[in-house]
Every structure is written in C-alpha cells, then in structure tokens.
C-alpha cells in the first residue's frame, strides 16, 4: 500500500475512488468545510468544485491510499481553521479550544469491497505523520465509540482505531469522544 497527499496530479484518482456518488451521498468531503446550513444549500457539483479548488491551490485536503496503483481509500486531514463546522461556538461536539496549531482528521472513505483490510488504520497513521510534518502541534479526531457500530456513522473512524494510533480522549459529548494526539516535542 502507498499513501499520498491529494494533489492536482491525483485528482482523477480521487474521482475514480469517490465514484458518481461523490463518496458519501455527494458530500465530496465538504460537510466539515461548509458547515450545516451552507452544506445543505450547496449543490453537489459545487461541493466537488470546492474540493477540487483546494486541491489545485495546493492545500492537500487529504490523503489517498493505493493498492497495486489503484486508489482504495481516502482520509481528510487539515488545519482546524479549514473546517467551518468545527470552528462554530455552537457546535458542542466539535467546539474549538485554545490549542494552537491544531489539526483535524475528520473523514475516511473506503469502498465496501476494500473494508476490513487495514486501509483506514494505515490512512490514520499516515495522516498523523502528514500533519506533524506540516507543522501541526496536535491533531484531533471525533470518532464514534466502538459500541456505535454502523457504516453510516463510521466515516469518522472508531475510538479504538484512534487509541491504537496513540490518541487519548480529552473530552466527550454523548457517544462522541474528542481524541487528541500531541506532537512529542510540542508537550
């Protein structure tokens, strides 16, 4: 398996991976970027254009996993400021704190036929390295408790997955732990 940041040269690979449905219900991994009401008011084609714009501008909005040169998985990762939904003071679960240099891992997409092959875990590990290599002081994830099984909610990963990657729970709202990993020299 190889994992690479999304770049303009890899855009067609993302299109092949996401398919005609834009990953999850034409989300195009913009639900976090646009926020609640704005997301609902934005057409699928405009969501796709937004993700492509970030890619063309060199913002590297996530990572693509490849197996035998075919795209098999996606993980969105970036500075918290990129994600309007996570910057709102009204967002109980995702509310920002005073952490400086905080990044977020907020979405995984692995097609059904590729699941249970360790792709999401590999993407999580690579996303941690990616964020720290680009200056993140800490990284947050908002996975579901492992008891909250169900494909529709697991696009954020599971708590046990984040624990295996060295994250610790720092807060919780209902079944949503907020998990954080701090860069070793940023302690």
Q: Which domain covers residue 100, as residue numbers?
A: 2-186
Q: What pLDDT was estimated at residue 133?
A: 96
Relative to beta strand 138-141, strand 102-109 is parallel
DSSP per-residue codes, 65-85: EEETTEEEEEEEEEEGGG-GG
Q: What pLDDT, on a 0 to 100 scale, did the predictor assign at position 90?
A: 66
Cα separation, 166 vs 24, in Å, equals 27
- DSSP codes, 17-54: HHGGGTTTTT-TT-HHHH-HHHHHHS-HHHHHHHHHHH
We report the CATH number of the domain holding residue 37 as 3.40.630.30
128-130-136 Cα angle (round to 5):
75
For residue 97, what pLDDT is reported?
74
Q: pLDDT by residue for the chain (187 residues), tens digit each?
A: 999 999 999 999 999 999 988 888 898 999 889 977 888 899 999 999 999 999 999 999 999 999 999 999 999 999 988 988 777 666 666 666 777 888 999 999 988 888 888 899 999 999 999 999 999 999 999 888 776 555 556 788 888 899 999 999 988 877 788 899 998 864 4
Domain count, the chain: 1
Is residue 52 within 8 Å of residue 11, measured between CB atoms?
A: yes
φ, ψ for residue 164, nearest 5 deg: -60, -25
Beta-carbon contacts of residue 19 (< 8 Å; ≥ 6 apart): 111
Q: What is the pTM of this model?
A: 0.90
Find all residues with CB under 8 Å of 82, minimum gap 6, and list them. 33, 59, 61
Per-residue model confidence (pLDDT) at position 187: 44
Q: What is the pLDDT of residues 121-157, one digit of tens each?
A: 999 999 999 999 999 999 999 888 776 555 556 788 8
**pLDDT for res 63:** 98
Rounded to the nearest 10 degrees, what angle do helices 44-56 and 11-18 cross at? Answer: 150
Q: What is the per-residue DSSP string for 88-130? A: -TT-TTT---S-TTEEEEEEEE--GGGTTSSHHHHHHHHHHHH
């Amino acid at each position: 398996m190889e994992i690479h940041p999304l770049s303009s040269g890899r855009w067609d690979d993302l299109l092949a991976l996401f398919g005609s449905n834009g990953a999850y219900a034409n989300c195009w991994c913009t639900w976090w970027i646009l926020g609640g009401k704005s997301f609902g008011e934005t057409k699928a084609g405009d969501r796709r254009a937004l993700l492509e714009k970030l890619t063309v501008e060199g913002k590297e909005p996530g990572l693509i996993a490849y197996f035998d040169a075919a795209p098999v998985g996606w993980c969105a990762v970036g500075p918290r400021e990129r994600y309007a939904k996570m910057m709102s003071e009204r967002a109980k679960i995702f509310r920002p704190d005073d952490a400086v240099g905080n990044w977020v891992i907020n979405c995984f997409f692995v097609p059904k036929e590729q699941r249970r092959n360790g792709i999401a875990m590999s993407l999580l590990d690579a996303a941690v390295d990616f964020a720290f290599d680009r200056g993140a002081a800490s990284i947050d994830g908002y996975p579901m408790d492992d008891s909250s099984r169900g494909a529709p909610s697991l696009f954020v990963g599971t708590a046990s997955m984040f624990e295996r990657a060295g994250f610790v729970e720092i807060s919780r709202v209902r079944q949503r732990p907020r998990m954080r990993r701090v860069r070793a020299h940023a302690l």
